[in-house]
């Protein structure tokens, strides 16, 4: 049982064009277990424009695999669902899907994309949060 979490670590960062006005940005905080090829955690999607999609919290799970070539050391896929509520005058909510894909180096910097209800963001930077900034 002790080998189950062998090599587990925390990965934090962003997916998207940080600093671009109105651009959606997905911030991730993930527990990575390379020995199990598993990833789980939370993604928070923020957007400067006010509305139902300006702050979304998504619990996610996914897979991580080593590529074995070039600067892209690993590929990551994430999936999750969240409650999307319709703004007035509409009434109601639905369970919306979130998907993300990342091609990153060992420091979690690279390129990726994500999609969520009515939005598709592709070919954007993936940037790790410096662990010193977290203290």
Task: Supply the mean pLDDT for the chain.
Answer: 89
Question: For residue 69, what pLDDT is reported?
Answer: 77
pTM for the full predicted model: 0.88
* pLDDT over threshold 60, residue 1: no
pLDDT digits (tens, 9 = 90+) for 31-84: 999 989 999 999 999 987 776 668 899 999 999 999 877 888 999 999 999 998
* pLDDT over threshold 70, residue 20: yes
Query: 56 near 95, Cβ under 8 Å?
Result: no
Give the mean model confidence (pLDDT) for residues 3-27: 90
Provide CB contacts within 8 A for 79, sequence distance 6+: 60, 61, 62, 97, 98, 99, 100
Query: 14 near 46, Cβ under 8 Å?
Result: no
Nearest to 82 by CA among 110, 119, 112, 111: 119
């Amino acid at each position: 049982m002790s080998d189950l979490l062998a090599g587990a670590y925390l990965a934090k960062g962003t997916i998207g064009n940080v600093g671009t006005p109105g651009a959606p940005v997905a911030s991730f905080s993930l527990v990575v277990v390379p020995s199990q090829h598993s990833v789980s955690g939370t993604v928070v999607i923020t957007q400067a424009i006010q509305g139902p999609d300006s702050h979304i919290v998504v619990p996610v799970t996914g897979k991580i695999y080593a590529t074995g070539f070039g600067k892209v050391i690993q590929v990551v896929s994430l999936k999750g669902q969240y409650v999307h509520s319709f703004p007035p005058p509409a009434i109601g909510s639905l369970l919306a899907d979130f998907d993300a894909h990342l091609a990153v180096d060992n420091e979690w910097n690279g390129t990726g994309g994500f999609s969520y209800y009515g939005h598709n963001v592709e070919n954007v930077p993936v940037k790790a949060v410096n662990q010193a900034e977290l203290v």
